[in-house]
Amino acid sequence: MIAEYGHMALIVALCLSIAQAIVPMAGSFAGYRTWMRLGHSLAIGQLVFVAISFACLTAAFVQDDFSLQYVANNSNTLLPTQFKISAVWGAHEGSLLLWALILAVWSAAVALFSNHLPLVLSSRVLSILGAISVGFGLFILLTSNPFARILPFSPTEGGDLNPLLQDFGLIVHPPMLYMGYVGFSVAFAFAVAALIGGQFDSAWARWARPWINSAWVFLTIGITLGSWWAYYELGWGGWWFWDPVENASLMPWLVGTALVHSISVTEKRGAFRSWTLLLAILAFSLSLLGTFLVRSGVLTSVHAFANDPERGIFILAFLGLVVGSSLLLFALRGPVVQQHRAAADAVSYSGLSREMMLLLNNVLLVSAMAMILIGTLYPLIADVLDLGKISVGPPYFNFFFVPMTLGLMVAMGFAVFSRWKKTDAQLLRQKGMVPFLISLSAALILPLFLADSISWASYSITAVITLGASFWVLTMSLEDLWQKLDRGSSKASSKLKNIGKLPGSYWGMQCAHIGIAVCALGVGLSSVYDVQKDVRMVPGDRVAVAGYEFSFDSLDYVQGPNFGASRGQISAYKNERLVAVLYPEKRKYEARNQVMTEAALDAGLTRDLYVSLGEPLKGDAWAIRLHVKPFVRCIWLGGLMIGLGGLLSVMDKRYRRRKPSTQSSSQSSSQSSAQLKAQADATVAAAQ
Amino acid sequence: MHPLRKQRLQLVILLVASAALVIGLVIYMLRENGNFFYTPAQIISGEAPQNTFLRAGGMVVDASVLRSEDSLWVQFKITDGVEMLTIEHTGILPDLFAEGEAAIASGKVDENLVLQATQILAKHDEKYTPPEVADAMNEAYKQKEAAKTGSYK
């Protein structure tokens, strides 16, 4: 019966979301405050029912109810309980239910934390979120119902979860990623509501900004976790494959990053208004495109389990409807937003200003996204047009993405020091001199020590560029921080006092920018100094790889809960000292008769040792892959720092104010005049 | 010309030129790095270019996998039901590689029409066949049927 309750709860949630889509919007036009307020209660009601539905599906998994098609396909009595729970979102139907649940969570959050917004705005935002949940509710109920039964002949044993997904990574990665994807629906709803109302000013930007930043934080962490999971679980030590599914998550992230920056200009200076709206629409459209690519089965990759054209067409139609109608609205109402801007007459900035730096940031990020979009969709388009079956490889993506990232990093160093409206070129030159010299010498000298031997042959230009760019961002950021703390007097005690005075958004920016430097360091150095050897070994063999000696001690057979495994014991030595003992496994999962490589690794900040069992050869011999990966941890450390930076910015005191403030909220003297200006814009715009 | 218009014209020319450059670069890079998929029949008949990076896929022929005694060199054959293509590779084969199952190899075809593969891909789980391989097998099957009916006439 539990499944039927879940199904009914889902139908009730759909009905509530239909009401949520229509009533508050109608109320906002007719001016009925009760109708508008209804959106808040409907959003919370919808969350309750989607949560009930989700709980029912989880219960069906935990109780091994194999009469449900979805449970039978993706679970097994032997599956450990934590994986039974995470198997709920392990395949198509359940992951869509997770999508719907997270959308309901965001809607309810907007309903709860929007008391300080004008009712017209918050009711319209909720109404648009309701319309999106109608789309997804219909999609689940019509094409991908997780509660469908196999009756009367239901199986007694399930087909088990795909072994690749039986991992801690699957428990945390999809919910985080979806929180990010779906979080952009709030940004989208704010943008569409602004277009409908024609009110789009600095106050709007201040309201929307925490929502956009939080979605971006989740997406950042989700992508980082995904990359980390691929690294240790896919078994071959890669951390990014330019796989279409990865691209599908990177594209909204790039646009989201552009949006996070452009909305700061809109908030502080009242500029980039239409552009910010367009980015908000684009970020959510790309999230939907990602869902379409992953869930329609048009791609062939690990994540695309489904292959059902009906589903693809539904999402494609939904995507077309959302993108088409929002862009149409943008075309019709965009000029109104522009008029406000002309009335406010705020924005003029010179060629060398913070605005210009952020514009450069946006241009680079959006171009990078466009390149990835072309590379991802080109094989699909070529296939449709019958140009042959093509796959676009990593060289294409690296060719465009790497220089753009380096350009971003160079600009990032300057941007920290640049001022609103106009920056003195002399000042930049002066501030940049010391960091430039430090970065240059670090870039030229450090590669000598990072390579195995000091010789021209092992001196890597890629390492020089990576180190140069990373140190540049790092030193420029630290110099700016030092000067901010230095303000007033140079005594140590006053510096400490100044630490508390700097706003959260400033710390957030610093943390995220340094995170980029750390991540780039990891990407560059691990790809240059990575040493990989595929070798044939029998127990007792020793092989040297990049200063380490790996000894294949023994091979055992071990029995897991739902698999059997050959487990090797490999000891790693450095200078005859034992560093680590690694136990890589080759598992065979019984239910699916599927073989899985379970790599073993010894993690460290400066290097990972990574060992995986390839395949058994003749006799006792095994094909074994041995990896030494310097600085690979920095990639995910940097990713987490970027996410933490976003979090610090969300927690900035400025956004916790309950009422839409008209007084100036000055954080640092350099920004206060700009903010006063922005406030003035807001007042002028509101008065009209 | 009015100075403001002149400035705008320069801006437009700059934009058009850089857009053209970028588009040209994208098309070039897509051509360079787009790997075409070929069936064993297309490669054996010489339709596929030699010494160009490409992908080929089919079913691994039973009892065709040969391994070296002392290295990771391996040789096997794949088929689309029409022709057999020999593939050579040095390295570790993926978990789901098996005789009688689908596999995709990427690499270059040498003058002996042997694919020297740098990477071997197998399906992701036991139910899944790569669509390229499924299409190629279907196509080959249809041609075979057509050839059969033709020969009866």
ipTM of the complex as predicted? 0.79
Q: Does A380 touch chain B (CB under 8 A)?
A: no
pLDDT band at A666 (very low <50, low <70, confident <90, very high): very low
Identify the burial level of A404 via C-beta atoms within 10 angstroms of its C-beta, where 0-12 means exposed, 13-18 middle and 19 or more buried.
middle
Is there a contact between B34 and A392 if contact means CB atoms under 8 Å apart?
yes
Q: Which helix (H) or strand (E) holds A298?
A: none
Identify the burial level of A78 via C-beta atoms within 10 angstroms of its C-beta, where 0-12 means exposed, 13-18 middle and 19 or more buried.
middle
Q: Does A389 touch chain B (CB under 8 A)?
A: yes
Amino acid at A633: R
Report the b/e string of A330-369 with b at 16+ CB within 10 A: beebbeebeebbeebebbebeebbbbbbbbbbbebbbebb
B-chain residues within 8 Å CB-CB of A400?
26, 29
Is there a contact between B95 and A617 if contact means CB atoms under 8 Å apart?
no
Per the DSSP assignment, residues forming a β-bridge with B35 are: A391
Is there a contact between B132 and A618 if contact means CB atoms under 8 Å apart?
no
Q: A2-16, A29-43, A331-345: which has the minimum mean pLDDT? A: A331-345
Same domain, B8 and B41: no
Identify the burial level of B28 via C-beta atoms within 10 angstroms of its C-beta, where 0-12 means exposed, 13-18 middle and 19 or more buried.
exposed
pLDDT in tens, A508-538: 999 999 999 999 999 999 999 988 888 889 9
Question: Rg of chain B's alpha carbons, rounded to an integer?
Answer: 23
Q: Does A375 touch chain B (CB under 8 A)?
A: yes
Q: What is the three-class DSSP state of A95?
A: helix
β-pairing, A622-630 vs A531-537, is antiparallel
DSSP per-residue letters across A343-385: HHT-----SSSHHHHHHHHHHHHHHHHHHHHHHHHHHHHHHHT
B-chain residues within 8 Å CB-CB of A396?
29-30, 32-34
CB-CB contact of A679 with A662 (8 Å) = yes
Shortest Cα distance from A245 to chain B (angstroms)? 14
Shortest Cα distance from A621 to chain B (angstroms)? 9
Phi, psi of A382 (to 5 degrees): -60, -40
Shortest Cα distance from A395 to chain B (angstroms)? 7
Residue A146 or residue B142, greater confidence = A146
Predicted pLDDT at A49: 97
Is there a contact between B34 and A625 if contact means CB atoms under 8 Å apart?
no
Encoding tokens for residue A114?
Answer: 């929007």
A-chain residues within 8 Å CB-CB of B131?
300
Same domain, B55 and B121: yes
Q: Does A90 touch chain B (CB under 8 A)?
A: no
Shortest Cα distance from A371 to chain B (angstroms)? 8
Is there a contact between B126 and A618 if contact means CB atoms under 8 Å apart?
no
Q: Does A618 touch chain B (CB under 8 A)?
A: yes
pLDDT in tens, A211-253: 999 999 999 999 999 999 889 887 677 889 888 888 999 999 9
Encoding tokens for residue A465?
Answer: 């560029």
Same domain, B21 and B81: no
Please, which residues 8-47 of chain B have a Cβ atom closer than 8 Å to chain A?
Answer: 22, 26, 29-30, 32-37
C-alpha span between A105 and A317 (Å, rounded): 25
> Chains A, B: CB contacts under 8 A, how many?
82
C-alpha span between B147 and A606 (Å, rounded): 62
Is there a contact between A378 and B71 if contact means CB atoms under 8 Å apart?
no
Q: Which residue of A has its CA nearest to B129?
A: A300
Is there a contact between B95 and A595 if contact means CB atoms under 8 Å apart?
yes
pTM, two decimals, is: 0.89
Per the DSSP assignment, residues forming a β-bridge with A43 are: none
Per the DSSP assignment, residues forming a β-bridge with B106 are: B55, B119
pLDDT band at A129 (very low <50, low <70, confident <90, very high): very high
C-alpha span between A355 and A361 (Å, rounded): 10
Q: A138-147, A169-178, A422-431, A637-646: which has the minimum mean pLDDT? A: A422-431
Q: Of A292, A432, A311, A443, which Cα lies nearest the Cα of A373? A: A292
Q: Does B139 touch chain A (CB under 8 A)?
A: no
Q: Most B CBs within 10 Å: which of A391, A392, A401, as the mutation test of the B interface?
A: A391
Residue whose pair of structure tokens reads 């999230």 in the numeric block: A287
Report the b/e string of A219-246 with b at 16+ CB within 10 A: bbbbbbbbbbbbbbbbbbbebbbbbbbb
Number of domains in chain B: 2
Across A112-124, average pLDDT: 91
pLDDT in tens, A161-178: 888 788 888 889 999 999
Same domain, B107 and B137: yes
Same domain, B29 and B56: no
Shortest Cα distance from A625 to chain B (angstroms)? 8
Across A183-196, average pLDDT: 95
Q: Most A CBs within 10 Å: which of B32, B95, B137, as the mutation test of the A interface?
A: B95
Residue A290 has pLDDT above 70, yes or no: yes
Among B35, B72, B131, the residue with its CB nearest the CB of A393 is B35
Shortest Cα distance from A363 to chain B (angstroms)? 13
Q: What is the largest CA-CA distance in chain B?
A: 81
Encoding tokens for residue A442?
Answer: 């670090």
- Average pLDDT over chain A, rounded to an integer: 86
Q: Does A592 touch chain B (CB under 8 A)?
A: yes
Q: What is the three-class DSSP state of A276?
A: helix
Q: Of A46, A288, A111, which Cα lies nearest the Cα of A184? A: A288
Is there a contact between A614 and B72 if contact means CB atoms under 8 Å apart?
yes
Among A382, A596, A615, the residue with its CB nearest the CB of B93 is A615
A-chain residues within 8 Å CB-CB of B71?
536
Among B37, B95, B125, the residue with its CB nearest the CB of A162 is B125
SS3 per-residue string spanning A475-534: HHHHHHHHHHHHCCCCCHHHHHHHHHHCCHHHHHHHHHHHHHHHHHHHHHHHHHHCEEEE
Q: Does A393 touch chain B (CB under 8 A)?
A: yes
Is there a contact between B96 and A300 if contact means CB atoms under 8 Å apart?
no
Predicted pLDDT at A6: 95
Predicted pLDDT at B127: 52
pLDDT band at A673 (very low <50, low <70, confident <90, very high): very low
Same domain, B12 and B29: yes
Q: What is the largest CA-CA distance in chain A?
A: 84
Is there a contact between A597 and B95 if contact means CB atoms under 8 Å apart?
yes
Q: A402-406, A513-517, A680-684, B148-152: which has the minimum mean pLDDT? A: A680-684
Q: Does A656 touch chain B (CB under 8 A)?
A: no
- Percent of chain A's residues with pLDDT above 90: 55
Predicted pLDDT at A660: 43
Same domain, B45 and B8: no
Q: Is the dihedral of CA A59, A64, A66, A71 positive or negative?
A: positive
Across A641-661, average pLDDT: 79
CB-CB contact of B75 with B59 (8 Å) = no
Q: Of B45, A14, B11, which Cα lies nearest the Cα of A6? A: A14
Amino acid at A332: L
Same domain, B84 and B146: yes
DSSP per-residue letters across A181-248: HHHHHHHHHHHHHHHHH---SHHHHHHHHHHHHHHHHHHHHHHHHHHHHHHHHSSS--S----HHHHH
The total of other beta-carbon atoms located within 10 Å of residue B135's CB is 17
The total of other beta-carbon atoms located within 10 Å of residue B64's CB is 15
Among A300, A375, A615, the residue with its CB nearest the CB of B130 is A300
Among B29, B33, B70, the residue with its CB nearest the CB of A536 is B70
CATH number of the CATH domain containing B67: 2.40.50.140
The phi-psi region of residue B88 (left if phi > 0; otherwise alpha if psi is between -120 and 50; otherwise beta) is: beta
Same domain, B66 and B127: yes
Is there a contact between A302 and B124 if contact means CB atoms under 8 Å apart?
yes
Q: What is the three-class DSSP state of A113?
A: coil
C-alpha span between A10 and A586 (Å, rounded): 41
Please, which residues 62-91 of chain B have a Cβ atom closer than 8 Å to chain A?
Answer: 67, 69-72, 90-91
Q: Is the dihedral of CA A260, A266, A272, A273 positive or negative?
A: positive
B-chain residues within 8 Å CB-CB of A614?
72, 92-93
The total of other beta-carbon atoms located within 10 Å of residue A55's CB is 16
Encoding tokens for residue A421?
Answer: 């409206």
A-chain residues within 8 Å CB-CB of B95?
235, 594-597
CB-CB contact of A211 with A184 (8 Å) = no
Query: Would you give per-residue pLDDT tens digits along chain B (153 residues)?
Result: 677 788 788 888 988 898 888 888 888 888 777 788 888 888 888 888 888 888 888 888 998 898 887 788 899 999 888 889 999 998 888 887 888 888 888 899 988 899 999 888 876 554 556 666 777 777 777 776 776 665 443
Same domain, B9 and B63: no
Is there a contact between B35 and A390 if contact means CB atoms under 8 Å apart?
yes
Is there a contact between A596 and B67 if contact means CB atoms under 8 Å apart?
no
A-chain residues within 8 Å CB-CB of B130?
300
Residue A669 has pLDDT above 90, yes or no: no
Is there a contact between A536 and B35 if contact means CB atoms under 8 Å apart?
no
CB-CB contact of A415 with A264 (8 Å) = no
Is there a contact between A399 and B92 if contact means CB atoms under 8 Å apart?
no
C-alpha span between A614 and A608 (Å, rounded): 19
Same domain, B43 and B17: no
| Alpha-helical runs (H) found in A530-611 | none
Same domain, B62 and B29: no
Q: Does A392 touch chain B (CB under 8 A)?
A: yes
Domain interval for residue B51 = 37-152
Is there a contact between B26 and A374 if contact means CB atoms under 8 Å apart?
yes
β-pairing, A607-616 vs A594-598, is unpaired
Shortest Cα distance from B94 to chain A (angstroms)? 8
Residue A678 has pLDDT above 50, yes or no: no
Q: Which helix (H) or strand (E) holds A568?
A: strand A563-574
